[in-house]
Amino acid sequence: MSDFLMPSLGADMEAGTLIEWQVQPGDRVEKGQVIAVVETAKGAIDVEVFESGVVEELYVGPDTKVPVGTPLARIGSGEHVVTERPEKEPEPETEPEPETEPKVEAEPSPVRKVPQAPVRTGEAAQSRASPAARRRARELGIDLAGLTGTGPDGAIVLKDIEGTASAEAKPARPAAGFDRDEMRKAIAAAMMRSKREIPHYYLATTVDLHTAETWMEDYNRDQPPESRLLIAALFMKATARALERYPDLNGHYTEAGFIPSEQINLGIAIHLRAGGLVAPAVLDAESLSLPELMLRLQDLVKRARSRGLRASEIGGATATVTALGDRGVDTVFGVIHPPQVAMIGFGRVRRRPLVVGDALAIRPAVDITLAADHRVCDGHMGAQFLNEIDIQLQQPEAL
């Protein structure tokens, strides 16, 4: 038996808001199953459970903001299931006689506020609305408190939200699922901590991509668009291989010092079109084939932009890649995301003059950089690591 806790989704997160339970007390859950949705500065994140068992009790109700580490639910053998929901909705029909109750309007209106248990945030917490309706309302930026529900007992259901959205002349474009100011603050906190605590050292090298590009063009020629590779997939795979060989760059620096990770969960910095940045991880990146890795990358980008990242992806990166290549710069020196100890940067792939053998050749090339934590390793090893990425990229067929 154990408690399911509000997860820490990065060093910068202090609290999160539980938006939605995807399970009920009594439900059997499997390790890795998504059981809750949590709103953070990085948007809504699907949170997985880390053990199999039965949901015995939900401690915290939807729309409750709690600090990281707060127990949210109990997972056990199923012997002590408490079916009572933590967030009891008012139930007008079955309510006891008014004299035993505090002064409550008997009208079953979804917008009516009733006295409630403490630790609640927001108006929406106190309206009766289906999870789908809550989610859609958040996406559209609609305040539930202003709506009239048409569902059972006047609950707000999805069509009430959709109705409101289409009734408004032209609703603002759906928010990308995160609060831009909150995200800015979260990035600021993490980067300040990084620059305050981590003694960065920086290295750069230029890598000839002639072989890698030629191989990829051959590969892509017979593939439909949905199966084609992007050079970013090769960069990720080559980096994962190099991290496998240089484990001092893969892991977390904690109060107890550096703890290398056996898993290589390679983060990828994804720019969100509405502003902001997230760096979810491709889990076990070294074990994936290039087509698999490409699919995972596409899926991560899609989910990062539409909300729907998982907790293990958000908090789990053991090293991170940033590829500003398309944005038109040759070189990017990253800032390490604590508690990680390395950030690997890939600039724009550009044709440039390179010395090949005894002659000058025009070759596609990329500047690869490393920002690494000097508490853990030195430039000598960092240089070997970058050279290993180069070596991997020269044999793309083996990636």
Partner 1 sequence: MNRDELRAIILEELSAIAPDIDTDTLNDQARLRDEYDLDSMDALNLLTALHKRLAVNIPEADYARMHSLSQLLDYLEPRLAR
Footprint on this chain of partner 1 (rule: CB under 8 A): 173-174, 176, 217, 220-221, 224-226, 228, 230-232, 271, 273-274, 297-298, 301-302, 325-327
Contact (Cβ atoms closer than 8 angstroms) between residue 386 and residue 213: no
Comparing CB distances to partner 1, the nearer of 103 and 273 is 273
CB of 34 or CB of 324, closer to partner 1: 324
Shortest approach of partner 1 to residue 306 CB, angstroms?
9
CB 220 within 8 Å of CB 233: no
Residue 325 Cβ vs partner 1, minimum distance, rounded to whole Å: 8
What is the distance in angstroms between the CA of the first residue and the CA of the last residue of the chain?
42
CB atoms within 10 A of CB 361: 13
Q: Which is nearer to partner 1, 227 or 287 (CB)?
A: 227
Q: Is 79 helix (H, G, I), strand (E, B) or coil?
A: coil
Nearer to partner 1, 103 or 170 (CB): 170
Judge whether 266 and 281 are in contact, CB under 8 Å: yes
CA dist 59 and 391 (Å) reads: 52
Question: How far apart, in Å, are the Cα atoms of 319 and each of 13, 65, 276, 330?
Answer: 18, 29, 19, 21
Distance CA 362, CA 354 (A): 6
- Ramachandran category for residue 18: left, alpha or beta (phi over 0 → left; psi -120 to 50 → alpha): beta
Name the residue nearer to partner 1 (CB basis): 74 or 363: 363
Give min distance, CB of 375 to partner 1, in A. Answer: 34
**Minimum separation from the CB atom of position 364 to partner 1 (A):** 14
Outline where 222-338 has alpha helix (H): 231-245, 290-306, 311-315
Nearer to partner 1, 96 or 225 (CB): 225
Quick one: 112 exposed, middle or buried, by C-beta within 10 A (0-12, 13-18, 19+)?
Answer: middle
Nearest approach, Cβ of 267 to partner 1 (angstroms)? 16
Cα dihedral value 290, 293, 298, 304, nearest 10: -160
- Which of 51/299 has CB closer to partner 1? 299
Closest approach, Cβ 297 to partner 1, in A, equals 7
Task: Considering only CA atoms, give the Rg of the chain.
Answer: 25
Query: Under a CB-based contact definition with an 8 Å cutoff, are residues 305 and 323 in contact?
Result: no
* H helix intervals, 103-206: 131-140, 158-167, 180-197
Q: In angstroms, give the least distance from the CB of 389 to partner 1.
A: 20
Residue 305 or 337: which CB sits closer to partner 1? 305
Based on CB atoms, which residue is closest to partner 1, 306 or 387?
306
Q: CB of residue 132 vs partner 1: minimum separation in angstroms?
A: 20
Q: How far is the CB of 379 from partner 1 (least distance, A)?
A: 31
